[in-house]
């Protein structure tokens, strides 16, 4: 049976809440506190919580804690990457994709770090040649590039070197 558990891909999908419930269940069953971390490592491998974390939750359950959710933490919630701010950054980029994070942050009244986080993490853009571009091309963009390439190839085959001399590139 242990071989089935170890080879199952489902063992990778336990949330922190799930692991805490397993700890609670093990404590209620009366399992020895030293066995619970070993069981978790057997099933979860690298994804198992640290022994200190397991001990903390064993103690909390033993003292009568029923709720396995995280305690609310003090501090300001992260709102910088909300939909409204993402929209602001998108509007700013629609005008000019060569804007720097500093320029966008001044325009949107957001911190430079928040702007960078939105551009890279939320919008999956990266800065290439001072221009913010998406990581992945859409199907339409891919098809357009293939069509341009085919057209250039056809023209090169018919016009040879005359065609190459007429190509103008720019930044």
Q: What is the pLDDT of residues 116-131, one digit of tens each?
A: 888 888 777 777 666 6
Is the pLDDT at 8 greater than 60? The verdict is no
Q: In the 8-state DSSP scheme, what is residue 45?
A: G
Q: What is the pLDDT of residues 81-115, one digit of tens each?
A: 778 888 888 888 887 878 888 888 899 888 888 88
Q: Which residues pair with 126 in a beta bridge?
A: 133
- Tell me the two tokens of residue 111: 């911190």
Confidence of residue 26 (pLDDT cuts 50, 70, 90): very high
Decide if 57 contacts 23 (C-beta within 8 A).
yes
For residue 74, count CB atoms less than 10 angstroms from its CB and return exposed for 0-12, middle for 13-18, buried for 19 or more. Answer: exposed
| Average pLDDT along the chain | 81
**pTM, entire model:** 0.41
Chain centre distance of CA 84: 19
132-146 mean pLDDT: 78
The position carrying tokens 């009568």 is 64
- Tell me the two tokens of residue 64: 């009568």
Q: What is the pLDDT of residues 38-93, one digit of tens each?
A: 988 888 888 888 889 999 999 999 998 888 887 877 776 666 777 888 888 888 88
For residue 20, count CB atoms less than 10 angstroms from its CB and return exposed for 0-12, middle for 13-18, buried for 19 or more. Answer: buried
């Amino acid at each position: 049976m242990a071989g089935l558990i170890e080879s199952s891909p489902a063992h990778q999908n336990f949330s922190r809440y799930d692991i805490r419930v397993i700890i609670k269940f093990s404590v209620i069953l009366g399992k020895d506190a030293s066995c619970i971390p070993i069981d978790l490592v057997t099933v979860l491998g690298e994804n198992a919580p640290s022994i200190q974390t397991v001990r903390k939750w064993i103690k909390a359950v033993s003292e009568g804690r029923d709720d396995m959710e995280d305690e609310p933490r003090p501090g300001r919630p992260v709102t910088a990457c909300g939909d409204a701010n993402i929209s602001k950054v998108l509007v700013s980029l629609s005008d000019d994709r060569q804007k720097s994070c500093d320029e966008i942050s001044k325009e949107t009244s957001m911190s430079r770090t928040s702007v960078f986080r939105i551009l890279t993490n939320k919008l999956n853009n990266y800065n290439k040649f001072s221009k913010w571009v998406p990581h992945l091309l859409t199907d339409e963009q891919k098809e357009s590039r293939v069509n341009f390439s085919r057209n250039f190839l056809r023209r090169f085959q018919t016009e040879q070197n005359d065609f190459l001399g007429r190509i103008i590139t720019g930044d």
